[in-house]
Amino acid sequence: MSKLIDGKLVAQSLKKEIKDEVLKLNKEGINVGLAVILVGDDPASHIYVKNKAATCDTLGIKSFEYNFSNNASTKEILSSIEKLNNDSRVNGILCQLPLPYTIDKKAVIEAISPIKDVDGFHPVNTGKMLSGYGELLPCTPSGIIKLLDYYDIKIEGKNAVVIGRSDIVGKPLAVMLSKRNATVTLCHSKTVDLKSITKTADILISAVGKEGLISADMVKSGATVIDVGINRTDKGLVGDVCFDEVSKVAGYITPVPGGVGPMTIASLMFNTVKAAKIQNGMKI
Ligand code: NAP
């Protein structure tokens, strides 16, 4: 039976460190603020934004919320971002994804000042990450690296297989694992014979959004399995991994919910404090 990777526990410990950092900054006269832009009425996005604001509250970070209707134009959102770029109370800006199809997502991401880009999606931050000196790294992948580190799961020299190549999870995660000297394979929907590749993984990460994608016969005995997927089903939230059967084979495994999710929010708060330090010329 595998050991459970408890994302709630690790996120709690990270949030305690962040809260202490915020207090230290406050003592130096620096307040930390995060602005969240929400466009449209996607119910899941509303829940995520509410959770982010609540987490800010518990950590002493001031949150600013900007809601736009489904009919909002790209221009209106860009103008709001420009104001936030110049607002000294705001250290971090994020635009909750997905955006309605009418909005130019690329323009929105590029409008956020790179030093306030706490999601780490701006091309400047992507480029820095690729060059190995990234400061504001995408939250879900950096949360996953923090989980592995917390449980002392060795990354160097291991075969890491990442399934899913999105800009927000799979691609940056592959880069970060490679930086930590794993040998990385990045799989996607056109990958042929996925099972033959997943079987080689010491660390297997699924970021697809497909219930039941990873069955026990696809997992090497003793492997670490990280489930990023979130699928809403009649049984509630489930991941990509068939948890009951895979947990009999894996060495370590994350649950859904309670695995990667809490780390994503904690990493966002971590980035917000980092951004505040960068903007105040402090060491990070
Ligand atoms: P995305 O943009 O929808 O990308 C999905 C990826 O999965 C694509 O690269 C796609 O390949 C690949 N894929 C689809 N079907 C596949 C298959 N049968 N075999 C192998 N690869 C397949 O996804 P995302 O935004 O990264 O999100 C992925 C999942 O993670 C979703 O369930 C999302 O809700 C969840 N998520 C969770 C968190 C968290 O904090 N827990 C954060 C972000 C996302 P192609 O590139 O070829 O299309």
Set 117, 119, 227, 240: catalytic member: 119
pLDDT score for 284: 86
Q: How far does residue 207's CA lie from ligand 1's centre (Å)?
A: 5
Q: How far does residue 263's CA lie from ligand 1's centre (Å)?
A: 17
CA proximity to 144, closest of 205, 187, 103 = 205
Q: Which two structure tokens, joined as six digits, stand for 136?
A: 């504001």
**ω before 138 within 30° of 0 (cis)?**
no
pLDDT < 70 positions in the chain: none
Q: Does the beta carbon of 52 sit less than 6 angstroms from any atom of ligand 1? A: no
The CATH homologous superfamily to which domain 29-114 belongs is: Leucine Dehydrogenase, chain A, domain 1 (3.40.50.10860)
| 8 belongs to the catalytic site | no
- Where exactly does CATH 3.40.50.720 map onto the chain? 139-261
pLDDT score for 1: 87
- Within the chain, how many helices (H) and strands (E) appear? 10, 11
pLDDT score for 48: 95
| 195 belongs to the catalytic site | no
pLDDT score for 159: 99
**CATH number at 139-261:** 3.40.50.720
Distances (CA, A) of 25 to 108, 139, 268: 29, 22, 17
Closest-CA residue, ligand 1 atom 16, reads 189
Q: Does the beta carbon of 4 sit less than 6 angstroms from any atom of ligand 1? A: no
Q: Does the beta carbon of 168 sit less than 6 angstroms from any atom of ligand 1? A: yes
Q: Does the beta carbon of 140 sit less than 6 angstroms from any atom of ligand 1? A: yes
- Where exactly does CATH 3.40.50.10860 map onto the chain? 29-114
Integer Cα distance of 240 and 104 in angstroms: 30
Q: Does the beta carbon of 209 sit less than 6 angstroms from any atom of ligand 1? A: yes
pLDDT score for 134: 97
| 52 belongs to the catalytic site | yes
Angle at 230 between CA 68 and CA 202, to 5 degrees: 135
Q: What is the DSSP string of 220-244?
A: -TT-EEEE---EEETTEEE-SB-HH
Answering whether pTM is above 0.85, one says: yes
